[in-house]
Amino acid sequence: MAADDFSRRVYAVVRSLEPGDLVSYGDVAAQAGRPGAARAVGRLMAGSDGLPWWRVVTSTGRLVPGLEREHAAHLESEGFTIRGNRVVPDDRVS
DNA sequence: TATCTGACGATAG
DNA sequence: CCTATCGCCAGAT
């Protein structure tokens, strides 16, 4: 069914993410063919493993609630700058 | 089949 | 900038 294909596509998209890449849940949902299903994407990511989930953040750049610590560590390893619980969009005046 | 849940997103206060 | 609320979607029970 459509929903099944959707979840399949979501996994494919996340698996295709490369180091240094950063996308939002809404982005993944849209690329999976279901814009607006950002929430469903998060649901799928939570139950799946072996995927670069840390390369996916919320639309506002907020890190995953409950895993902020680990999430931040992964992103920093990819070369991103984390401030508080958010990915810094751009380094600006300190 | 009905209902609840949640790693979201946008808007309002 | 932060919290609260509503709307949306797929999965689980």
Residue A60 (CA) to nucleotide B13 (C1'), in angstroms, measures 19
Gap between the Cα atoms of A20 and A89, Å rounded? 13
Q: What's the confidence (pLDDT) of residue A69?
A: 93
Inform me whether the pLDDT recorded for A2 exceeds 90. Answer: no
Q: What is the pLDDT of residues A8-53, one digit of tens each?
A: 999 999 999 999 999 999 999 999 999 999 999 999 999 888 999 9
Give the CB-side neighbour count of residue A15, counting CA atoms within 13 A.
9
Q: Note the pLDDT of residue A48.
A: 87
The answer to whether A61 CB sits below 7 Å from nucleic acid chain B is no
Query: CB of A45 under 7 A from strand B?
Result: yes
